[in-house]
Amino acid sequence: MSALEPGSFFAELTQAERADLESRGRVRDFARGDTLFTEGEAPGWVAVLLRGRVKAFSYREQGGEALLAVRGPGALLGEVAAIDGQPRSASVAALEPVRALAVPADEFMAFLQAHGRVSIIIMRVLCQRWRDADRKRAEFGMFDATGRVAQRLVELAERFGVPYRTGEGDGQSVRITLNLSQEELAGWVGASREAVSKALRTLRAHGWIETGRRRLIVHDLQALRRHAR
């Protein structure tokens, strides 16, 4: 199992709770690009990410994807549809090879009934997601495309960044280990691919980031944070 994201659903469970949940499901592997859930389908199962990262997205009426979130190891997926019995509100696809614990919806509900404390954890996770969604909605009225791209790069660097040596010995650069295409980034910030490309050029011109084939390095995270505010 990969290191769990701090504060994620699975990270908050006790060893006994994890063992019980694992006994109710089975481990499934998905290749990059594979779909775990499809928007509008019946909620047959929930997933707990054990390894790898996924994107949650919805298809736009005018075409393309609106990227809603990126989830990493420890995240719980599909729980809302399992709880309320409604069709799934978003699709989920693997951004890289993924391993997940797949638990049938009825077994997941039985798990919640057996462990009342876990319902509080889910409520806390959902509240965090709602707050994040509210914050992102507010950003659309407050920032231009460059500002929104800077905000997402800060989030990616903080969640999926590792120290990167530039050879100059400063030790301050961060390499983002999650590879998002410009189309996916555009869907995340609610802008066109052309606007995102222009924003990245602007950030590169400042010397704050470096981009290449399947590579994104943040050289000045503090400057990005200031711009994102």
- Give a yes or no: residue 111 inside a domain: yes
One domain for residues 153 and 131: no
CATH number where 162 lies: 1.10.10.10
Helix, strand, or coil here: 59? strand
One domain for residues 72 and 154: no
Structural domain total, the chain:
2
One domain for residues 151 and 118: no
**CA 204, chain centre distance (Å):** 24
CATH number where 77 lies: 2.60.120.10
Q: What is the mean pLDDT of residues 156-185?
A: 83
| Containing structural domain, residue 160 | 143-228
When pLDDT is cut at 50, 70 and 90, the band that residue 214 belongs to is confident
Alpha helices in the chain (DSSP H): 9-12, 15-23, 79-84, 105-114, 116-142, 145-160, 182-189, 193-205, 221-228
Q: Are 34 and 94 in contact (CB under 8 A)?
A: yes
Task: Give 81-104 pLDDT, tens digit per residue.
Answer: 999 999 999 999 999 999 999 999
Helix, strand, or coil here: 60? coil
Mean pLDDT of the chain: 90
Q: What is the mean pLDDT of residues 145-157?
A: 92
